[in-house]
Chains A and B, each alone.
Chain A
Amino acid sequence: MKEILLAFNVFIIVYFAILNGTYLLLSVTAFRSLRRYVDRLDSLEIDDLLSSSGGLPISLLVPAFNEAATIVPSVRSLLTLTYADYEIVVVNDGSTDETLSVLIAAFGLEPVVRVPTSDIPAAEVHAVYQGVRHSNLTVIDKTNGGKADALNVGLNYSRSALFCAMDADTILESEALARVVRPFLEDASTVAVGGIVRIANGCTIDGGTVDDVRLPKNMLARFQVLEYLRAFLAARVGWNTIGGTLIISGAFGAFRRSVVASAGGFDAATVGEDMELIVRLHRHCRDQGIPYRIEFIPDPVAWTEAPERISELASQRDRWQRGLAQVITKHRRMIANPKYGVPGMVALPTYVLFELLGPVVELLGYAAFAAAIISGTASTTYVVAFLAVAVFLGSALSVAAVALEEISFRRYRRFGDLAMLLGFALIENFGYRQLSTWWRLRGLVSAIRGDLNWGTMERQGLDRPTRDAERTTDDDSMDEATSGSSIARTGHVTER
């Protein structure tokens, strides 16, 4: 028994070392990439792209469920974005509150006939409304079907060559659209682009703009700031460098409409519809022989409100883990399959080993560690080694993420905030990380049980914009119908 425990303890240490080492390697990769990317931003100024008439038309798809309290200021904020040609498509997903009526009243919406341009299966649409003052604002009222279903309806009714999927409570920076479209301009084979999601808790927001970036006062939200830096600036930039991007956040991502429609749109049967779509796009494009690029770029910023209560954060992490499990189960054939290149051979196996199974191994590791100490079988060597790989290597990852922020965008200007982030890099390893692992383990169990519940989050509320916008744009470009692109719309639905 003692030998088994010892062997398991060694396995755990090796596992922790490989896990943290892998992510440290990604951070190093990200370091190089971020420096190049920041230089690239300077090499073709965003102002030039904005003033150029070469910007591509884009539809902003905004699913809304019971957002009566915030939807009007959210839409007003979206109407002020700096971009030449975009439309906003709000999809009221069967809200039981006043979401639709407040939209109609605030923007003078009138019912219109609008022909859907794709036939991705989705819940019934009751009516389509268009803004009188803002002709680029469309509201679609439909039966409740969940976020993915609402996005599919928006996709069916949008007509721009590109669309941007976002959350109703997300604040986009004014240049975010121009920035997220940039990779589509630089490479015509780009099919999806993700931007960075940052945490707005603690920031000063005025007129739909984040004016002063500060760390949240809430401890839980502070931990999440660090997590987001690690996830976006280290992991996603790192994965993007080697062509292994598997996630574009549902809070902010831009897509080529024709490819997403031909791949079947969003999967309403998963709670991780954002990751599922990206994995399916890899699969679809490689199966069909379509040249494609899926990019993550760190400069288009979407601000979101992070949960500040333990129960809400637990529910969110539970859902993320369930989503991950569903995606990996659904696309298991891609794993270690050379046909799917880096996503299949490297990214997915890494996600299985460290993201999906990570919570199981980590918690078993903590349990074995405790058992070894209690039973007196733990040597000082083992205790020290465990702490070294679990704590110091883990915190090195977080400090590296803060370093990545410092070499690139430096959003947290105050020295106190920077010091706080560095301090939290160490503190998070004692309690928060274990709690997070526990929530993820619960998510895994829920996934095995087949739970599709999204959970809820009570928003504390971000300060919202008050300005109204008077801009209008020409409606639909219908660009994709006549572009002659090799990626023509096929209209069929797969993976259902």
Chain B
Amino acid sequence: MTEILLLITSLAVLNLVFAALVVALRVFNWRRAERFDGRKQSWQPKLIALISDDSDPAALSSQVDPREQADVVEISWALARRLRGQDRARIQQFAEPLMGVVTRDLKARRPERRARAVQITSCLGGDDYAETLVDCLDDSSTLVSLVAARALAQPNRVDRIDPILDRLHRYDQWSQALLSSMLANVGPEATPAMRRYLSDDRHTSRSRAAIARALELLRDVEAGDVAAQQLTSPDGEVVAACLRLLSVVGRGIHAVGVRPLLLDDRFFIRAAAITTLGKIGVREDAESIVQMVDGDSPWIAIRSAQALADLHATDELATLVEGGGLPAEAAVETLYGGAA
């Protein structure tokens, strides 16, 4: 009986402890939010004034009480993220003496905290902290490393592209769309380094494919030759990415390497080759594309119809319409923009 009473008492106490914890959490969060709001109301107008006048940022930062440093950094960061150029530089000068609370978190045990510190450092630290961010690329957590890479991949900072490319393989699990937009953000000056990367088959296929997409986003005409050279690669992911790149930046001469891929065993290579040939091929390629259309694959049918339209092969499109079935529907969708 004693054990049972002990059990029921323990469970009742457990409930009370949980409930008390919830209430305590609510009070704690409420007080913290109230304190932060108070500091925000106090510091945000001062920071906005700092942007518009010529007062000394260091003098203002000396007024920050050590107990409110973390909140003031948070407020500065929120403001600086919305600013560019000289305005952001003024906030960076203000935050410089306070950066200790941020850089301390770069060594935090939890990767999420380190990643957040990297974000704040990149925004409030400016160029002075570029080396620190480069060091973060080698963080044991890929999250921290990727956040550092995103922070470094800024427009016109071509000097930072090499350290990022050296670690690109670390981000293979991340979406290629995310990586390619990050790399493209650096701008056209980074394309020579990216082209070299794409042509080097020692790199992983996923990272090379991401590079190809970045070059596609940048519409780098000179990448066409590199992409064409990769079409014989045994790596399907790279070939597909290069075909997409060629469909944007390729020239007629590159079609020679694309045509054999119409017969590739891999469905996604054939589909990409059809689209690319539609963009950079010649009128005579229409016949080969028509032969590709079968009634089984809607993707091939849709891509073929679009490619024929791109080649202005209206006779071949009309033939598809007359043939009926899936190819005809794809041709109608392409010819009339889908209007029934």
**Residues on A facing B (Cβ under 8 Å):** 36, 39-40, 42-45, 47-49, 52-56, 110-118, 127-128, 130, 184-189, 380-381, 384-385, 387-389, 392-393, 395-396, 399-400, 402-403, 406-407, 410, 415, 418, 422, 425-426, 478, 481-485, 488-489, 491
In the assembled complex, the CB of A5 is this many whole angstroms from the nearest CB of chain B, namely 18
Most chain A CB within a 10 A radius of its CB, from B116, B217, B330: B116
B338 touches A130 (CB 8 A): yes
User: Is the CB of B339 closer than 8 A to any CB of chain A?
Assistant: yes
State which of B112, B181, B298 has its C-beta within 8 Å of the C-beta of A52.
B181
Using CB atoms, name the residue of chain A closest to B217.
A53
Provide the residues of chain A in CB contact with B236, threshold 8 Å: 484
**Contact (A114, B243) CB under 8 Å given A52-B178, A406-B22, A484-B237:** no
When chains A and B are docked, how far (Å) is the Cα of A49 from the Cα of B340? 38
Beyond A43-B147, A422-B23: 16 further Cβ-contacts under 8 Å?
Answer: A36-B110, A40-B112, A44-B119, A53-B184, A54-B175, A55-B177, A112-B333, A112-B338, A113-B332, A113-B340, A115-B330, A381-B1, A384-B5, A415-B26, A425-B15, A478-B299
CB–CB B115/A43 < 8 A: yes
Contacting pair B119 A45 (CB below 8 A)? yes
* Contact residues in B for A49 (Cβ distance below 8 Å): 178
Q: How far does the alpha carbon of A410 sit from the alpha carbon of B27 in the complex, in Å?
A: 12
Determine the distance from Cα of A415 to Cα of B23 in the docked complex, in whole angstroms.
9
A483 and B268 contact, Cβ closer than 8 Å, known pairs A40-B112, A52-B178, A385-B4: yes
**CB 8 Å contact bits of B167-203 with A (1 = contact, 0 = none):** 0000001111111111010000000000000000000
* B239 contacts across to A, CB distance below 8 A: 484
Cβ–Cβ contact A54 & B19, under 8 A: no
A412 to chain B: closest residue by CB: B26
The 12 listed contacts between A and B (C-beta, < 8 Å) are A52-B181, A53-B184, A113-B336, A114-B333, A186-B174, A187-B174, A396-B15, A396-B18, A402-B22, A422-B22, A426-B15, A481-B268
Chain A residues, Cβ within 8 Å of B272? 481-482, 484
Given contacts A39-B116, A113-B338, contact A422 B302 (CB under 8 A): no
Stretch at the interface among B6-14, B55-63, B278-286: B6-14
Query: What are the 9 closest A-B residue pairs judged by CB atoms, nearest first?
Result: A484-B240, A43-B115, A39-B112, A392-B11, A112-B338, A54-B181, A54-B178, A484-B237, A388-B8
Whether B175 contacts A184 by the Cβ 8 Å rule is: yes
Contact check, B8 vs A185: say whether CB atoms are below 8 A apart.
no
Closest Cβ of chain A to B105, distance in Å, is: 11
Judge if B271 is at the interface, Cβ distance under 8 Å.
yes
The total of Cβ contacts below 8 Å across the A-B interface reads 185
Cβ of B292 < 8 Å from any Cβ of A?
no
B175 touching A188, Cβ below 8 Å: yes
Closest Cβ of chain A to B215, distance in Å, is: 14
- Is B219 an interface residue when CB atoms closer than 8 A count as contact? no
Chain B residues, Cβ within 8 Å of A40: 112, 115, 143
> Which residues on A sit within 8 Å (CB–CB) of B113?
39, 43
A178 CB to closest chain B CB (Å) equals 12
A482–B239 alpha-carbon span in the complex (Å): 10
Q: Is the CB of A488 within 8 A of B177?
A: no
In the assembled complex, which residues on chain B have CB atoms less than 8 Å from the CB atom of A407? 25
Q: Which of A48, A53, A426 has the most CB of B within 10 A?
A: A53
When the two chains form their complex, are residues B115 and A44 in contact, meaning their CB atoms are under 8 A apart? yes
C-alpha gap A410/B33 in the complex (Å): 12
A113 to B8, CA, bound (A): 67
| Known A43-B116, A114-B333: A483·B178 in contact at CB below 8 Å | no
Q: Which of B81, B175, B241, B332 contacts A484 (CB 8 A)?
A: B241
